Structure 1
Amino acid sequence: MVRPAAWGIAVTLMAGLAPGLAPVPTARAAELPIDRIRAEVSRLVPPLWTVEEMTADPIPVPAPDGKAAAKTVESRTAVRIAVKLRLAKPTYAVDSRDGAVTFIRPVAEAGLEKTLTATALATLGPNGWSARIELRNPEVLEGIGQPLEELPGRPVLAGSAEANRLRDQIARDAEARGAEEDARRRREEDLLARQAAATKAEEERAAAERRQEDARAARIAELRARIQGADRPARIAAYEAALGGNDPSLRQIALEAALQSRDPVLGNLALKDWIARRKAVPVQLYATKEDPHSETVLNNLGPLTLEIDSVNPVNGALAGRLGAPGYSIAKPSAAVGALAQTTLTVNAYGCALSLRLTEQQTLDGLFRCQTLPALIARVTVD
């Protein structure tokens, strides 16, 4: 129960006097508007209470210092008021809250009676009576709880069957929420663990790749340095080691380095390996400026191809077929050839192909047939 903001109140109680009269009439208790004082006291009573009975008895007017005033003070009077109150509704207090449910306990039953006392000090002035009302025992209105409709949430009487059922339900819900939270936390921890494991595995994989790349870069640098070194046996040994390894890219690097080394022996080894790994070698043909008919022959000859059946890895001898479809003299026929250092010579029926390794990693030379003008020939070593 909330205590009123001020237990003392000053009111003006009109007694039917005309305003503006200078003389102050003599106060008589019989003229005191008791009904108005009672109404003001009733207004101070909270709505939860019903005023059953009210009595007003004159008392001596107290002096300002608390002593009894002289009887000659006729413009002031005092009244002791006793109010019998009855509680209109049962009241309750909040025992506990859980979400939207408020568990309550009873505080007072409807019909509880209390007596509220007050003092009214009235003064008669030119405009009528004015009174100051002071409650003497306001504590009787305190600690009485609240009516049901003023309580927050859904009120349930503590200890009742419904309260026990709701508490059990709340406990089950809390347990379910706890289990769900534990499961969610375990899922998050499992996810974090999987992510951490995946991150670690990725880091290890990346580190292994970096180590492999570093090792491979070191092997490539070492291979290039050895192939480009001044010691021919060391160059040949480095090339053959790369050629016999299981790293195709390292073999390709060794091949390119050997072809660019300008060492005829190393170039010969690289060309023999390159030719041995191919079944057919396309030959690009170009017309010559010396013979004006070479352009016509080039257009009619068609693509020239060297088909390889076998290569001797020791002496570089090869066997296969060589030819182009445009002329009968140049039609594909059996061919034999030899690789002498970095020069490749192939002879077929009526035609011959002679090529030499260049710094541009190509085999350049001429293609000649008995009755046709010579054409420039090129094979790209890739």
Structure 2
Amino acid sequence: MTRPTIYLDSNATTEPLQEVRDGINSCLADGWANPSSIHRPGFSARSSIELARGSVARLVDADPGRIVFTSGGTESANLAINGVLSDPINACSIISNPLEHGAVSVPVHDAGRRGAKVSMVSHDRDGQIDLSDLEDRLSKVSSGSRLVSIMWVNNETGVIQPIGQVARLCRSFGWILHCDATQAVGKLPLGDEVEQVDLLTFSAHKFHGPKGIGALRIRDRSVLGPVVTGGPQESGLRGGTENTPGIVGMGIAAERAAAWLDDDGHVKVESLRAQFEQRMGDLGGVTIHGEGAPRLWTTSCIGFDQVESESLLMMLSEQGVCASGGAACASGALEPSHVLVGMGVPHDLAMGSIRFSFSRLTTPEQIDAACEIIEASVRRLRSMDSSTD
């Protein structure tokens, strides 16, 4: 008998809603015309895109004209970062956080290799940035293209950065702020802080939309130049025929996410992580990474003493529980997560860390069932480790 899947890997991707799938299929069947064409089917496709743009704009509290569609969060971040660096590269300055996702850290480091001045703000042991250090770095540069790139919610630990305070500091010193909000949009109310962010990037598949479609929210179009050229689409900032089915799916997912947030859905699911971490804590020998900082309800990154994450993940997968490790395969070798290493987590504990991530579709019953499987698996691996000592 096949075990039911308990999906606790929602920071990686979320299950598309049935309404999203239906909307995409309908668009593929009936709305496949080129939205730039001057005929009725083309006009219909264009109308579908603009309706979806309005839905996405409402989710992030923006005017529809400030939303640019891309292929996902990574492209959005690249457009935000590289689109700002309009001066000669050696006149550009970037401040970022060493715990960023690769969608930000790679283009930032690439800019540094090309001559931009790149510096990394310090952070505490939970991964929250040091605002005093940020202010000091901001005050030292007053000319050229100046960009700060800080994520709203960390994808591995769920730690929430004080984006409102970051934005106010950037504004006071004349820096542009890009925020990777991929793990935040559709999962928590963005509040007044979002209006202070110059460039906000996010992806549909993190809030029950399709993969291959994301967006960039622009506060002021004048700060950004195009990166993908060759067509007038997306106001000239992202050339190429639009992915109408993906955009339609993102629009539907945005509508559902906005309604869920309006109904305080994020408050109702807060207990899921608390329920999960209480059970894990009862195991003993566990560390909850980022526990001392504000964290989003979606994420619980746990280090298990005397356990290798790869072995635990394989054991959980065989029993239907899906999660992610605190390590990634690089150059054929399993290495600890740069986020956990950057937070000062000891090597062995980082190698024994698992990220469990929840969505609004996760149920308390699934949490209970997963906990039983995880507890038994950890105990088994620890007993095996003890027997080999």
Instruction: Tell me the TM-score normalised to structure 2 length.
Output: 0.19
Larger radius of gyration: 1
- The structure with the greater share of residues assigned to strand is 1
TM-score of the superposition, structure 1-length normalised? 0.19
